Amino acid sequence: MKMNFHCFENLIPIMILALFSNSGLINATEVGKRTDALEASAWNDSQWISAVNAPVVKGHNNGRAADGASWFVSTVKNEQKIVSAKWMTAGLGVYELYVNGKPVGGEFLKPGFTHYAKTKRSFPYDITDIIRTKPNAENMLSVQVTPGWWADKIITPGGYDGIIGKKCAFRGVLELTFSDGTKKRYGTD
């Protein structure tokens, strides 16, 4: 089953430094806890997605072509009561995750610096505590992806854009376990 993500391109990124509720400061590290990864075959249920009209940055181009952020948003409707929900994610560029408007995980600037040619880091989260679990409830999953170390001039000698990557992208697999013990996966497409 595929998640149909809608893309909103070239928005200005906003970093949340502190989160507050009516009862005070929220500890962001408690929203969507890191968990064990799904088995490697789970990635077969997904594809890398990127903005359709995202600018392709050419190497050794001093022009500023990859500004802005892309948002990907998908809604998943529960078939039954959910007892467990895991979201395994990876990004080409810096990304932030949200479930029903709540940030997932306590990390900022995921995936951090990595040697993309050798390693594409994945981040698995247990989102059971923040997902709506009742039958027929809808859950909105959203991701903001920005160039970061992947396609920006932040790490390139001489300030050239896109020496590592050309387009920001995201890949994810959501695995839901229902009250009858069955599981269903939704992947980016």
- Spell out the domain ranges in the chain: 2-188
Q: Give pLDDT tens digits for 153-174.
A: 655 566 555 556 777 888 999 9
pTM attached to this predicted model: 0.71
pLDDT value at position 159?
57
% of the chain exceeding 90 in pLDDT = 31
pLDDT value at position 118?
72
> Residue 56: pLDDT band by 50, 70, 90 thresholds?
very low
Q: Give pLDDT tens digits for 21-42.
A: 555 544 444 445 556 667 778 8
Average pLDDT of 36-49? 79
Q: What is the 3-state secondary structure (H, E, C) of the chain?
A: CEECCEEEEEECCCCCCCEEECCEEECHHHCCEECCCCCHHHHHHCCCECCCCCCCCCCCCCCCCCCCEEEEEEEEECCCCEEEEEEEEEEECEEEEEECCEECCCCCCECCCCCCCCCCCEEEEECCCCCCCCCCCEEEEEEEEECHHHHCCCCCHHHCCCCCCCCCEEEEEEEEEECCCCEEEEEEC
> Residue 10: pLDDT band by 50, 70, 90 thresholds?
very low
Tell me the CATH number of domain 2-188, given options 3.30.530.20, 3.40.50.300, 1.10.357.10, 2.60.120.260: 2.60.120.260
pLDDT value at position 65?
40
pLDDT value at position 80?
97
Mean pLDDT (the chain, rounded):
74
Q: Give pLDDT tens digits for 98-125.
A: 999 999 988 777 777 677 677 778 888 9
